[in-house]
Structure 1
Amino acid sequence: MEVINQKAVRTDNTLLAVTHLTQLLNYALGFGGLITPLIIWLASRNRVEGMDEHGKAIVNLQISLILYIIVSIPAILLLGLGILGLIGTAILGFVMPIVNAVKAANGESPSYFMTIRFLN
């Protein structure tokens, strides 16, 4: 009889929460808010239950934030509206990872406000 190597899928809500919180590296170090969760997601998306859904949500948020920043910088010349966009982006990028880390720790699905879905 031949045994096929099967990878066990495990539930790890702590890893999901930590993956969401690694987005805050942008505020602490200035970089790493996209790369670190991307590496964690790609390394464990087939081994941790829910990681694929959470990882896609994180990458979608980070790409959306980058796009909002790129649009807000030239909008500064339009009566300073870009400054409001940058402030809103900073608040969104700080609050939403914390909210979704709590949701992930409780076993709930992520929900990111104002996120463009690049990955489904």
Structure 2
Amino acid sequence: MTNEPYPAAPPARPLSPSDERLWATLTHLSALVGIVVGAGFIGWLGPLIVFLVLKDRSAFVAEHARTTLNFQITMFIAAVVAAVLWLVLVGFLITAAIYVVVIVFSIIAAVAANRGQRYEYPLTIRFIR
């Protein structure tokens, strides 16, 4: 056996502009899928995976994934607050509003990403910069 270090991985190949738009769009749509499948609690998982896998290959995709991740974390915190407010019988209204906000803004963001435009979600706390 030799004690040679592992060979260095080749540098990541940058994404083409059409692939960048595709992955940025899928980042926003994966958050919607996570909300539907996970009852609103795993909408952050898809954007996190895209961010970790593609952040070195495209600044455009990384920015969209980061923005989506921040929005999903903010909406998760809002959902937790709404769940607590269910005890005083107004939480269901807030929960419904959160779902509508997430769906509408995610679709708007996906369309902007598909056009190659930058999109910043409103009502978002920037946890990841």
TM-score, normalised with respect to structure 1: 0.84
Distance of 2:66 and 2:120 partners within structure 1: 11
> Secondary structure of the equivalent of 1:47?
coil
CA contact (8 A) 2:82 2:92 kept: yes
CA contact (8 A) 1:21 1:98 kept: yes
Which residue of the partner structure matches residue 84 of structure 1?
93
Distance of 2:35 and 2:49 partners within structure 1: 19
Which residue of the partner structure matches residue 123 of structure 2?
114
Larger Rg: 2
Gaps of 5+ in 2: 1-9
Which residue of the partner structure matches residue 7 of structure 2?
none
One of 105, 108, 119 as aligned partner of 1:96: 105
Distance of 2:12 and 2:37 partners within structure 1: 35
Q: Once the two structures are aligned, what percentage of the paired residues are identical?
A: 28
- Confirm or deny that 1:50 pairs with 2:60: yes
One of 33, 51, 55 as aligned partner of 1:41: 51
Distance of 2:86 and 2:36 partners within structure 1: 25
Q: Displacement of 1:46 after TM fit?
A: 1.2
CA contact (8 A) 2:47 2:65 kept: yes
Q: How many residues are matched? A: 115
Change beyond 3 A, Cα 1:33–1:114: same
How large is the RMSD of aligned CA atoms in angstroms?
A: 1.8
TM-score, normalised with respect to structure 2: 0.79
Q: Displacement of 1:7 after TM fit?
A: 3.9
Q: Displacement of 1:89 after TM fit?
A: 0.6
Q: Displacement of 1:50 after TM fit?
A: 0.7
